[in-house]
Chain A
Amino acid sequence: MQNSQVQSAYFDVVVVGGGISGIQAALDLGDQDHKVLLVERSASIGGKMISLSKTFPTLDCSSCITTPKMSAAFHHPNIQVWTSTDVERVESSDGVRKVHLCRHPTYVDNSLCIGCRLCEYACPVEYPDPFEEGLGAQRAIAVPFTNALPQKAVLNPRYCIACGACIKACPTDAVQFDQREERLTVEAGAVVLTTGFALNSLELKREYNAARSANIISPLQLERLLVPHGPYGRVLRPSDGKVPGNVAFVLCAGSRDQSIGVLYCSRFCCMYSIKQAMLLSGALPTAELTIYYMDIRAFGKGHEQFYQNAKAMGIQFVKAKVASIEPVTGDDISLRVELEEEAGRVAERRHDLVVLAQGAIPVFEPAKALNTPAAEDGFLRQPDSVKITWTGVEGVFAAGCALGPKDIVDSIVEAGAAAMEASKFLAMRTAGRSPAQKPDRLANPVGT
């Protein structure tokens, strides 16, 4: 789209994915004076972490941790950030990595946009906001969210009626309906894949009937309901705006289940469900909160204590496999459960809001994008057990949920490890040779 922004076609390292792992890897590499390109598919860096309410088991504010890291990476003199950019293919041959990119039009010239949001206020169309997991509304041209980086407006061509109101409102004439998709290739010494994960569909398990009720929600939707500036400003159930009085969490609703083809454990669902129940008990002190679980996996530092605290707070833990979920009258939800601690007695339980712990699934396709087979679970392979961040492809490393589901703490640690491996790889490659001329400064100009 804006060719003038491409300051260098060679980077020491290209980091693919601007979530917390990618940001951490880019910072660790940039601080070692490597020139880094951080590529992000969506319109802002920050990944899933920036949309979460709090982290477990410390209950720290998630955006209070993520925002400074986003800002540090975005303004780092050695890191250039390209958002709205897809990585289509990574090649590794003859000692060099080629990263094939597709930059999507945002219909806004970032070198002119000042992030004033006047276009957003003038826009007459609203659509379900992806940042709010569809619960809130976003205008067809808008800054993606309050603490998005870059703070630039992005136009969604699926909903824009091309009325021109944004052009009239813009004080810098930044709205450009002529932008086109642009494909380009950059070369890199090493690549770090931090492509994260997706959640499988709420509707995947047919017995759970998520398609039939707005009150069967995803954990990320509940995160948005729990943040102070969420779509409703408080926790309400989506079907009718009622303050929920009886909430159920169904664990293993999208993983550890042969019937939906996800055999592995998604690893963080137990802990975030406990965290969400704790936060809900603060937001709704009189609500009944029940967690239906197969077994609680609280294996990390401080996790078991966190679980015990939740029990002490009065959150009900019911060891039961939920067989089916049915919407019933009054927008309520009925759960059919087999109570393991009561000799398998089958019971019907009624709730007014149900959260399904979806499974974490890969987004990166190693076979297509890296010409290497995926691991059995679909995530990237880790062929060397003492170098777990190496993908088996020369100069290509990975970290975080691109390698398999893991929590934020583990992702950050792994991102540091991948950065170290990439740095070591670059150092060994240039050992004995004079360092190549590096571009002096790559910090994001106003235009990025």
Chain B
Amino acid sequence: MAKLTDNHKAALKRFRDQRKEQGEDPAEYAKQFRRERLAIEAALKNGPATVPAIANATGLAGKQVLWHLAGMRKYGLAREVDQDGDYPRYELIAAGKETQGKTDGAKNGARC
């Protein structure tokens, strides 16, 4: 892993300043994203759960929970385990056990 040089830091600062001039600040979005992701991870600590169950536990909309789970699946942080009625259940993948980007879709041998 490389370190940030002074050139990198200066470029990052110019990038931030330029964006500030345009009135854009993604920091609030990123904080909200982090809060939601942590809440979903916390809800999954107790074991596999469906989207409505996670939505209930976190107070987030089901649509938002499913969107996060899509991201977590894509980056190898969660996977589908089984189904409860019409709803699939998801579980966390313990860090270090699976490599990045290796999701259940790939494991199940999905093909076109």
A: residues with CB less than 8 A from B are 53-54, 61, 63-64, 117, 121, 124-128, 132, 135-137, 139-140, 157-162, 164, 167-171, 173, 176-178, 214, 227-229, 231-234, 236, 238-243, 245, 331
Footprint of A on B, CB under 8 Å?
A: 1-4, 8-9, 11-12, 14-16, 19, 24, 26-27, 29-30, 33-34, 50-52, 55, 62-63, 65-71, 73-75, 80, 83, 86-88, 100-101, 103-106, 108, 110-112
The residues of B that contact A117 with a CB separation of less than 8 Å are 101
Known: A124-B34, A167-B4, A240-B87. A233 touches B73 (CB 8 A): yes
Of the candidates B71, B87, B105, which one forms a contact with A242 in the assembled complex, judged by CB atoms under 8 Å apart? B87
Q: For residue A61, which residues in chain B have a CB less than 8 angstroms away from its CB?
A: 112
Q: Are A137 and B71 in contact (CB under 8 A)?
A: yes
**Across the interface, do A64 and B70 meet the contact criterion of CB distance under 8 Å?**
no
23 inter-chain pairs at a CB distance below 8 angstroms, sorted by A residue, are: A54-B112, A121-B100, A125-B29, A125-B33, A132-B70, A136-B67, A159-B29, A162-B16, A164-B9, A168-B2, A169-B1, A177-B8, A177-B12, A228-B112, A232-B73, A233-B104, A233-B105, A234-B80, A234-B88, A236-B66, A236-B88, A239-B66, A331-B62
Which residue, A117, A135, A137, A229, has most C-beta atoms of chain B within 10 A?
A137
User: What distance in Å separates the Cβ of B91 from its nearest Cβ neighbour in chain A?
Assistant: 14
Cα distance, A230 to B104, chains bound together (Å): 12
Q: What is the CA–CA distance of A331 and B3 in the complex, to the nearest angstrom?
A: 49
How many whole Å from B22's CB to the nearest CB in chain A?
9
CB neighbours of B74 from chain A (8 A): 136-137, 231
Q: Which residues of the partner chain B approach A54 to less than 8 Å between Cβ atoms?
A: 112
Determine the main DSSP class of B at the interface with A: helix
Which A residues are in CB contact (< 8 Å) with B100? 121
| Residues A239 and B112 in contact, CB atoms below 8 Å apart | no
B residues less than 8 Å from A245 (CB atoms): 86
Closest to B7 in A: A178
The interface residues of chain A lying within 8 Å CB-to-CB of B63 are 214, 238-240
Return A312 CB to nearest CB of chain B, in Å.
24
The 9 closest A-B CB pairs, nearest first, are: A137-B71, A241-B51, A228-B110, A240-B62, A61-B112, A233-B105, A177-B15, A177-B11, A231-B70
Closest Cβ–Cβ distance, residue A238 to chain B (whole Å)? 6
Q: Give the dominant DSSP class at A's interface.
A: loop
- Contact (Cβ within 8 A) B11 A239: no
In the assembled complex, the Cα of A234 lies from the Cα of B26 at a distance in Å of: 31
A233 interface neighbour in B4, B68, B80, Cβ under 8 Å: B80
In addition to A137-B70, A240-B62, 9 A-B residue pairs with Cβ atoms within 8 Å of each other are A126-B33, A159-B26, A162-B12, A167-B12, A169-B1, A233-B104, A239-B63, A241-B50, A241-B51
Assuming the A-B contacts A177-B11, A236-B66, are A168 and B112 also in contact, with contact meaning beta carbons closer than 8 angstroms in the complex?
no
Select one of B19, B30, B104, B105 contacting A157, CB under 8 A.
Answer: B19
Chain A residues within an 8 Å CB radius of B75: 121, 139
Q: Tell whether, in the assembled complex, residue A125 and residue B30 are in contact, meaning their CB atoms are under 8 Å apart.
A: yes
Are A241 and B1 in contact, with the CB atoms below 8 A?
no
The minimal Cβ–Cβ distance linking B35 to chain A, given in whole angstroms, is: 13
Task: Write out the residue numbers on chain B whose beta carbons fall within 8 Å of the beta carbon of A229.
Answer: 105-106, 110
Q: Is the CB of B2 within 8 A of A173?
A: yes
Q: Would you call B86 and A178 a contact (CB within 8 A)?
A: no
Q: Which of A53, A126, A162, A243 contacts B87 (CB 8 A)?
A: A243
B30 and A228 contact, CB distance less than 8 A: no
Bound CA–CA A260/B105 (angstroms): 40
